[in-house]
Structure 1
């Protein structure tokens, strides 16, 4: 990505801005020249502020993240290529994102999404509308959790990751039979192209979160659902938790929601503690 400049453009959004914070549209260039978009929320005050980046999940639209952390922290809600406002060259399909361009590493859309996650962290550091303290945490659910872990593995300045039910993309559990969507997209593809199973498994292994987990040096809070068969099967979550050097792993009696509201409260408190802020 080094050869592609970011060309960061920032525009305040008067509608979403509030008395306690300003909201900005941020546009920038990703790898391969893709135009990307993120929301950025900046508290009023002189700073410097800690920051939180929410990585995008499997969905076409990502609105502003609503969190009490925004009163004390810069909050960035990034998107990846193919999503709304980042779809100039690629238009993601739902279902279909997990198999779009899967015939080749050069055309597989989701490999670009991993590059876009790294770009988001770099753009946050390079923007000039908020003074940052240096403490940057990442969060995400499903695909967003996997992107957050991958970004932390390649950006050692990240201080914490809250990863809810990381998508088992690249892990053998993601190709098991009988899975629900979105992982079922891979099963659908292989039913039509059974002769490509080994090729698909090899290509996807590039982003197996277990393989890069050892490079995540910061603390990780990870949730999983005991009966999840669509996003992060428990076998994948357990192996990933063991591979992460500092993982607070919480398993809930549910499925892909990974603890739902209960874990959401725990996550908010955990992130606030890691960022050194108090929330009301």
Structure 2
């Protein structure tokens, strides 16, 4: 086997281990047609993920089917075009939603959950319910007082601060569609904030990213999130002061494999 063949084989083995675009080959001075078409498809899928609307009623129905109450809310961005141009509006509730959430609040709760379209409705359609289903036993086992799950549209992460404050929640977890990559149009992010109120910064949140079948599996994401929620409520903080040490509870290879590690 020549050195060129050995190098080609090594690149093929590396390419099999990652969705990153490596070892694509060459056709003259450019890429092979198949790779150009694959890139165009990925780009189209990412654009579709950003612009596709969230099917609110379908999401609410699926969440209700696993045992959660739901509410709906919208940001101050009146449409998708405005949402993309004005991130500040996506961080604020519209007046009707703020009034509805305030009216729905009664006694203080430990946790509010927000399912938000963000920059990928596809991520919410595919990933939010599996994550909530995996998280539900831990929440029930901990005896936490929960607000209804709020399904939010035209939403940025910080919208959860207003939602959590209105629902009198000690903490809020926002499950939101992340900005699509060229290999991950279905990536869900989770942002946990203790003491939610407008004006919180990203440094005061904990984030779990790339929650999807080909990334951080829902059961492992739920395991990590339940640990973070417990610690946040116990220590009364989130963000840079709270480090994710949930892996210390995974004691051996068998446990790691069962959690998708």
Structure 1 length-normalised TM: 0.31
Greater RCO structure (CA 8 Å; 6+ sep): 2
Higher helix share: 2
